[in-house]
Chain A
Amino acid sequence: MLKINNLKAKVEEKSILNGFTLNINPGEVHAIMGPNGSGKSTLSNILSGKKGYDVSGEILFENSDLFSLETEERAHKGIFLAFQYPLEIPGVNTSVFLKTSLNAIRKARGEKELDALEFLKLVKQKSKDLKFDEEKLNRQLNVGFSGGEKKKNEILQMSILNPKLSILDETDSGLDIDALKIVANGVNSLRRKNNAFLIITHYQRLLDYIKPDHVHVLMNGKIIKSGGPELALELEKKGYESFS
């Protein structure tokens, strides 16, 4: 599904990713762990098409070259990034935004756009599943949301858009233990044979709830070790130092 080959990324002559290689197959859950500043968010941003990086290497998503696709085209193809720091968008109603987003994607895929009623039904169900306070749907997008509420809103968006590849950039940071379980359940309930997850986290705790197939350690812009779920436990015990 996703093939990243020897990806390098620089910003203003500073190298952030230094030959990053990763394969994700449909149905898999990959976890990436790595110290602050190792390039995790940069990787997520590049996968989603953020501008401003000097990149080389290759990224294929379902056999098409990602670099040739705009950010929104990647979203249309089913790439979703749950942001580490979701942005506040003043004056834009959360529910209106969700509907605009869903319908933009449906339209691009040649699917029928949802009308107000159909959308309402969907968003109500999804909010309920994620215990997302419905009252917040009528507020301005992320404005005045708590850190945890913003993260939950990302997962709500993910579950409504139902992407093929979901990248979760430290979604667990800032969540209380109940919210963590809900988010994990949300992810697990979306797991299918034909979709995949890339989960970026600092904490093994999340991986107790979402069982990854592969765990990778990222340091200095490169994967230095890969393994199964046991690697996360080892990291938790020994810290990153022991891998460097």
Chain B
Amino acid sequence: MEEQLKNDFEKSFKNSNFSSKSISLKKEFLNKFIKDGLPNKSLENWKFSDINQIIKKEIGDLSFYNDISTPNKIDSAIYLNGLEQNSIVFINGRAEKIDFQFEEKNKIEILDDFELNNNYSEINSLIDLNSAFVEKSFKILIKENYSLKKPLVIYHYTNKKIKSKNINLRLNFILEKNSSLKLIDVLNDISEKNFINTFYSFKLNQDAILKNYKIDNKNNNNIKYSFTNIEHEKNSLSETFIVSSGSNFNKNEINCNLNGKYASAFINGIFSLNKKKHHEIRTSVNHLTELTKSYQLIKSVLENEARAVYQGKIYVNSEAQKTDGYQLSKAVLLDETTEFNAKPELEIYADDVKCSHGSASGSLNENSIFYLMSRGLNYKEAKELLIKGFLLDVVEKITDSEIKNLIKNIVGLKE
């Protein structure tokens, strides 16, 4: 892999206009990645999802150079229907369109010049890989007191032109004081056997509100990793909702730092997996000052050799008195070939806190199925109704009613 990495790396900045400073920094990241390699199960964070093995098995050899010089045509079928939206369309990792048609132009700043820093390098080697190879790093800034009128939908689309490739994406969002953004990530792949590595960072200044809905529901053979970092200043709020279903493998990592009083983070999600899919959500919510709040609810429905992993950590430092932290995961295993791994973790150094966590998994209640069948529903209908019922309360956590309905449609909860 080392030779491939080096060759692809040379190619990647031949046609680009990175500064020499950027290039030398990128080289550092590359060397660090070469040294560490892909994460594997000997690392605590990766013990349930050995991405090194998974890539080896599902893809084999990866290539890392992604030629973004030629534009791709956007198929209008990719757009979410019935939703007025701003949009950014990535096709095979190339930004084809950035459109804030519903917004006041001077309230949003978009920069696509590369800006690297070492801040995240400690997290894992995939961030280094991302830093070394990402072509453009987008920075989107929402001005003070501005709330986007319509959601921003980011389409992550891939087509048949790529195979066995590693695609790296990077977006930084800065929400200035009292601004707000609703962001929907839609994953949609026609391509097969690629490894897509996405890195988002959000800075929420005082009173800012971020709602991020990450939707992976189209069946595909790709391997995905996404890391999201959210910095919360005073009284800011983030709501993250994950629909984890479509890709062959997907690991979503969400890191929230609650730096300012009254900041709060909500992370909810659904795993709906079949056919040997393996997905993970790993969260770490860091309560770093007093009077902050976090809430997490993850529900899984698994069948047919699927595996879901939820590692959720709540960290409360010694200053973070009056922290309110909650975390719960529940899984329904539809057959005996499935597996759900939950690793809830509380690490608390303050004494006046309210924190709880829990996890439960089991099969559907046969008596409930019998009850529904005795009312005329067949086995499949009874099962589906119970599953819908099981998933409903987590979808109900979505605070935006338009997007809630959209997601209800997507996960089949619409009556």
The answer to whether A and B assemble together is yes
- A residues sitting closer than 8 Å to B (CB atoms) are 45, 48-51, 70-72, 74-76, 80-81, 83, 86-87, 89-93, 96-97, 100-102, 104-105, 108, 140, 157, 161
| From A75, A93, A140, contact of B375 by CB (8 A) | A75
| Residue B377 is within 8 A (CB to CB) of chain A in the complex | yes
CB-CB under 8 A from A108, the residues of chain B are: 376
Contact B378 A72 (CB under 8 A): yes
Inter-chain CA distance A167–B391, complex, in Å, is 32
CB-CB under 8 A from A45, the residues of chain B are: 370
Q: List 30 A-B contacts (CB under 8 A).
A: A48-B370, A49-B373, A51-B366, A51-B370, A70-B373, A70-B378, A71-B373, A72-B373, A72-B377, A72-B379, A75-B373, A75-B376, A76-B376, A83-B374, A89-B371, A89-B386, A89-B389, A90-B392, A90-B393, A91-B389, A91-B390, A91-B393, A92-B388, A97-B375, A100-B377, A101-B377, A102-B376, A104-B375, A108-B376, A161-B376
Contact A71 B374 (CB under 8 A): yes
CB-CB under 8 A from B378, the residues of chain A are: 70, 72, 104
Contact A91 B371 (CB under 8 A): no
CB-CB under 8 A from B7, the residues of chain A are: none
Contact B381 A104 (CB under 8 A): yes
Given contacts A91-B389, A104-B381, 7 further A-B contacts (CB under 8 A): A48-B374, A49-B374, A71-B370, A72-B378, A91-B391, A92-B389, A97-B375
Closest A residue to B369 by beta carbon equals A71
For chain B, what secondary structure do more than half of its interface residues adopt (helix, strand, loop), or is it mixed?
helix
Binary interface profile of B, 348-376, with partner A (CB < 8 Å = 1, else 0)?
Answer: 00000000000000000111101111111
| From B368, B370, B376, B389, contact of A140 by CB (8 A) | B389
Closest B residue to A141 by beta carbon equals B389
CB distance from B256 to the nearest CB of A (A): 28
CB-CB under 8 A from A51, the residues of chain B are: 366, 370
CB-CB under 8 A from B336, the residues of chain A are: none
4 tightest A-B CB contacts, nearest first = A91-B389, A91-B392, A101-B375, A71-B373
Inter-chain CA distance A168–B372, complex, in Å, is 16
Contact A91 B376 (CB under 8 A): no
Contact A101 B389 (CB under 8 A): no
CB distance from B363 to the nearest CB of A (A): 14
Contact B415 A96 (CB under 8 A): yes
CB distance from A48 to the nearest CB of B (A): 5
Inter-chain CA distance A71–B386, complex, in Å, is 17
Closest A residue to B374 by beta carbon equals A48
Contact B376 A104 (CB under 8 A): yes
CB distance from A127 to the nearest CB of B (A): 17
| Residue B38 is within 8 A (CB to CB) of chain A in the complex | no
CB-CB under 8 A from A81, the residues of chain B are: 374
Inter-chain CA distance A72–B373, complex, in Å, is 5
Closest A residue to B387 by beta carbon equals A91
Closest A residue to B365 by beta carbon equals A87
Q: Which of A92, A93, A108 has the most CB of B within 10 A?
A: A92
| From B367, B375, B377, B390, contact of A90 by CB (8 A) | B390
Knowing A70-B378, A104-B381 are in contact, say whether A90-B389 is a contact too (CB < 8 A): yes
| Residue B25 is within 8 A (CB to CB) of chain A in the complex | no
Binary interface profile of B, 388-415, with partner A (CB < 8 Å = 1, else 0)?
Answer: 1111110000000000000000000001
Inter-chain CA distance A90–B366, complex, in Å, is 14
Closest B residue to A83 by beta carbon equals B371
CB-CB under 8 A from B388, the residues of chain A are: 91-92
Contact B381 A97 (CB under 8 A): no
CB-CB under 8 A from B415, the residues of chain A are: 93, 96
CB distance from B111 to the nearest CB of A (A): 44
| Residue B140 is within 8 A (CB to CB) of chain A in the complex | no
Knowing A87-B368, A104-B381 are in contact, say whether A75-B386 is a contact too (CB < 8 A): no
Closest B residue to A107 by beta carbon equals B376
CB-CB under 8 A from B379, the residues of chain A are: 70, 72
| From B367, B370, B385, B391, contact of A97 by CB (8 A) | B385
Closest B residue to A142 by beta carbon equals B371
Contact B375 A89 (CB under 8 A): no
Closest A residue to B391 by beta carbon equals A91
Knowing A50-B370, A86-B371, A104-B381 are in contact, say whether A72-B391 is a contact too (CB < 8 A): no
CB-CB under 8 A from A96, the residues of chain B are: 415
Inter-chain CA distance A72–B385, complex, in Å, is 15
Closest A residue to B392 by beta carbon equals A91
Inter-chain CA distance A51–B378, complex, in Å, is 14
Contact A89 B368 (CB under 8 A): yes
Inter-chain CA distance A90–B389, complex, in Å, is 6
CB-CB under 8 A from B367, the residues of chain A are: 87
Contact B375 A161 (CB under 8 A): yes
CB distance from B298 to the nearest CB of A (A): 16
Closest A residue to B368 by beta carbon equals A87
Inter-chain CA distance A105–B378, complex, in Å, is 10
Contact A72 B368 (CB under 8 A): no
CB distance from A119 to the nearest CB of B (A): 12
Closest B residue to A109 by beta carbon equals B376
Closest A residue to B390 by beta carbon equals A91
CB-CB under 8 A from A92, the residues of chain B are: 385-386, 388-389, 392
CB-CB under 8 A from B368, the residues of chain A are: 87, 89
Inter-chain CA distance A48–B376, complex, in Å, is 11
Contact B374 A75 (CB under 8 A): yes
CB distance from A186 to the nearest CB of B (A): 17
